[in-house]
Amino acid sequence: MRDVSRRGMIGLGAGAAATLGLAACGTTAQGDAAGRPGGSPSPSGTGRPGAPKKPAARLIGDGSTAYTGKQPRQPRYPVPLEPGETPPQFVVFSWDGAGEVGTGLFDRFLRLARENDAHMTFFLSGLYVLPESKKRVYDPPNNPRGASDIGYLSDEHVRSTLKLVRQAWLDGHEIGTHFNGHFCGGSGSVGNWTSRQWASEIEQAKAFVTQWRTHTGWTDLPALPFDYEKELIGARTPCLLGQDNLLPVARELGWRYDASSPGGVQRWPQKKQGLWDLPLQAMPFPGHRFEVLSMDYNILANQSVNSTRAPSYNYPAWRTQAAESYVSGFKRAYETNRAPFFIGNHFEEWNGGIYMDAVEHVFTHVAREKEKGGDVRLVSFRQFVDWLDVQRPEVLEKLQSMDVAERPAGGWNAYLRGRPA
């Protein structure tokens, strides 16, 4: 069991302190060299009579990554809302770290997404594909060379992480970044980094992904099936710190969103320094007057005062409380202003794995609402900003003006009736 005591601190809303976390894990998945997951039909239809052939992979750099064509299993291209049309209810599940450490959680949620035709965002920590034997390749700002406040993975787990990240992309999920060393305290904290230092951290995070073959020497694993320079359009910083100095760099790199604001409310997002600002959100917390941030570790911090191994007799009640909190957040948005609902997670078995159970509970609840015929969409952050970017400005302004739990005056048809394009 890894020590998590040094990881992630953030503020909570409305009267309670909370903390944010870091790591991740899972099991392995296989795929062939052409970019198709093992046991799955080719998403492009290769092998069916008359179907277009999948383009040949074009290796990039040292062959760690490759361009394999358009990402499979993507939703139809988004279109603007018609005047008076009810907006969809977007739900984004995201994962910080996205490394595999042998608990089966990464694969568990890939399967759950596949079963429900859902997509998610994985914020990959670059160090999770860098062997510990090469840790001195990493030169973190304001910290000693090779230092990290999250552990390096074993070679076995680096290999599994590469396989699962590859599978995630082939399943249609987004691969973002959680940067590298996860420094949250002291003078070396990411909260103190300059824009120039953020630029260095980003370049290293990308290099660990795009040069894993050089760093590992492995030739028996296929390339990651995407061009990371084009794939990477957003991030979440460690502990939700340092966004102000990060954003100028992200804008220059052409990123489209950032998920690092230190807590928000359930309202439609706006842009900050030219990027969509997509914060974790305060949501109802059963049994309390204050609200809790929509991330597993923040719920833990309020239940067990940051302990990840609290007495197990607490687990059933805490699991229920966490699940009800997520469901309450979803319902509040779905039944009122339809603000997108963002949930942040870690592949961790904290307090007996109750937070993973709670996440699966709300995931299943949301999927059932979708099956009932409601316009509920389980998407990645990338897919969500694709939708935002094609909407009419006057419609977005109307949505953004709505407060938490505010219902549209006169119904959606009257509220959003606007000028035709």
- Find the helix or strand (DSSP H, E) in which 366 lies: helix 350-371
Q: Which fold has domain 10-28+86-415?
A: TIM Barrel (3.20.20)
Select from 145, 146, 245 the least CA-distant residue to 199.
Answer: 245
Q: How confident is the model at residue 189 (pLDDT cuts 50, 70, 90)?
A: very high
Q: What's the rounded mean pLDDT across residues 402-407?
A: 98
- Give residue-wise pLDDT tens across range 256-295: 999 999 889 999 999 999 999 999 999 999 999 999 999 9
Identify the residue whose tokens are 């030169």: 139
Domain extents in the chain = 10-28+86-415
| Alpha carbon distance 412, 403 (integer Å) | 15
**Which tokens hold the place of 397?**
């302004």
Give how far the C-alpha of residue 302 lies from the chain's centroid of Cα atoms, to the nearest Å. Answer: 22
Select from 296, 378, 290, 288 the least CA-distant residue to 344.
Answer: 296
Residue 77 has pLDDT above 80, yes or no: yes
Q: What is the pLDDT of residue 417?
A: 86
HEC readout, 122-159:
EEECHHHHCCHHHHHHCCCCCCCCCCCCCCCCCHHHHH
More confident residue, 218 or 1: 218
Angle at 318 between CA 315 and CA 321, to 5 degrees: 150
| Alpha carbon distance 43, 124 (integer Å) | 24
Q: What is the pLDDT of residue 418?
A: 53
**Cβ 127 vs Cβ 207: under 8 Å:** no
Q: What's the rounded mean pLDDT across residues 20-49?
A: 35
DSSP state of 69: S
**Cβ 194 vs Cβ 159: under 8 Å:** no
Rg (alpha carbons) of the chain, rounded to whole number? 21
Q: What is the mean pLDDT of the chain?
A: 89
User: 3-state DSSP call for residue 11?
Assistant: strand
Q: What is the pLDDT of residue 26?
A: 30
Q: What is the pLDDT of residue 53?
A: 67
pTM of the model: 0.88
Q: What is the pLDDT of residue 52?
A: 58
Angle between helices 243-252 and 195-210 (to 10 degrees): 60
Q: What is the pLDDT of residue 263?
A: 83
| Alpha carbon distance 325, 341 (integer Å) | 12
Name the pairing type of β-strands 275-277 and 271-272.
Answer: antiparallel
**Which tokens hold the place of 101?**
């450490």
Angle at 289 between CA 259 and CA 88, to 5 degrees: 45
How many other β-carbons are positioned within 10 Å of the β-carbon of residue 277? 17
| Alpha carbon distance 298, 306 (integer Å) | 9
| Lowest-confidence pick of 36-40, 107-111, 293-297 | 36-40
Residue-wise burial string across 320-335, b where 16 or more C-beta atoms lie within 10 A, e elsewhere: ebbbbbbbbbbbbbbe
| Alpha carbon distance 275, 319 (integer Å) | 35
Residue 185 has pLDDT above 50, yes or no: yes
Name the pairing type of β-strands 376-378 and 89-97.
Answer: parallel
Tell me the backbone φ, ψ of residue 61, rounded to 5 degrees. 60, -125
| Alpha carbon distance 41, 158 (integer Å) | 26
Identify the residue whose tokens are 């503020």: 11
- Give residue-wise pLDDT tens across range 357-376: 999 999 999 999 999 998 99
